[in-house]
Amino acid sequence: MRIGVPRESVPGERRVALVPETVGRLAKQNNEVVIERGAGVEASFPDSAYEQAGARIVDDAYDAELVVKVQRPSADEVGKLRKGSVLIGFLQPLQDPRYAATLAERGVVALSMDAIPRITRAQPMDALSSQATVAGYKAVILAAERLPKFLPMLTTAAGTIAPAKAFVIGAGVAGLQAIATARRLGAVVEAFDTRPVVKEQVQSLGAKFLEVDLGESGEGAGGYAKELSEEAHRKEVELLAKAVRENDIVITTAASPGRRAPVLITKDMVPTMRPGSVIVDLAAETGGNCELTEPGRVIERDGVTIIGTTNLPSTMPYHASQMYSRNIASLLALFLKDGRLAFDWNDDVIKGTVITNDGRVVHEGTRKLLAPAGPS
């Protein structure tokens, strides 16, 4: 099996889909691995490291039976894919179902890393979680850089310095990592989530879990938070408004695949925050949890810094690539046997992850989005 790893073409994307560690294992399993020249350089993996692992450096890695990427290929790159080839990457079929249809028309078997089912057996393949870990960590680092205060309590000759206070909205993978990182740096941390089931996890990291009776649970399918009723959302916003006023750092992580991020910090809340406070909006790519967030930009409003930087995992490309590569390796182990494709179409992970096959869009959620609307 020839496995191709192209260089990422999306501006600002510094990750690479496979690192030398994974390439070495694949090369020993009757696979030929070809790496586009310079594909791993920005993630600190030089071409020489791939060659030492058994890969071949080429000018075009799309001429392969199996192509592995981080971001989805551009329209021109899709045109390079062989008919019948396998494509793996963050293809975002729920955000852009027409793109999935294009892959089907090309005759590509496409697997999307953002469609990995949230089941126990699939955890080693869960690239959304691995990259969210990176984002949660980096969010705190960015906040600490912008905050004009120490995070930990300090006892100095000039007296005692009080610790900074941080508030994390959403206790999924990114939120929990943000909590853990802020605690390690010495901040006093509070967190909120509409899913009461995460309370114990938050407390185990040394943070205070803020509670309010919403009258319903925010637990949705696949472990994601679901959209709340209007009354429950009103109660949520009241709690958030108070917490936002009282904290120096606010990190928001509320997002669900295929949907716009909910607005949790309104433009009226921002002026109530302490001067010098920092908001890091990890949902910026899908519209933002803060009403004032500008995706891809860092702005200041009413003395508050609002960080809308997108694709945070790409700012830590070495470890983000390493984790993603391991996710890919775990997925490949399901259907790549001794250099040959062996899909088990009854496997729940395969069924959930494959977006297109045999010239058709087969992913249920994507098919529904492509279906013509019925009469109103």
Catalytic residues: 118, 123, 126, 129, 224
| Dist. CA 199–CA 191, nearest whole Å | 9
Neighbours of 148 (CB within 10 A): 11
Nearest to 302 by CA among 276, 263, 265: 276
Place of tokens 């949790």: 264
Q: Which phi-psi region, left, alpha or beta, contains residue 311 (left: φ > 0; alpha: ψ -120 to 50)?
A: left
- In contact, 173 and 163? CB cutoff 8 Å: no
Place of tokens 């496409």: 110
β-strand pairing of 354-357 with 109-112? antiparallel
Q: Which phi-psi region, left, alpha or beta, contains residue 135 (left: φ > 0; alpha: ψ -120 to 50)?
A: alpha
Place of tokens 């390796």: 329
Q: Nearest 5°: CA angle at 196, between 192 and 202?
A: 55
| Dist. CA 307–CA 142, nearest whole Å | 8
Burial of 367 (0-12, 13-18, 19+ CB in 10 A): middle
| Dist. CA 312–CA 228, nearest whole Å | 27
Place of tokens 């009103």: 234
- The secondary structure element, H or E, covering residue 339 is none
| Dist. CA 157–CA 151, nearest whole Å | 18
- Show the tokens assigned to 86: 């396998």
Output the DSSP codes for 136-153.
HHHHHHHHHHH-SS-SS-
Q: Nearest 5°: CA angle at 356, between 352 and 362?
A: 60
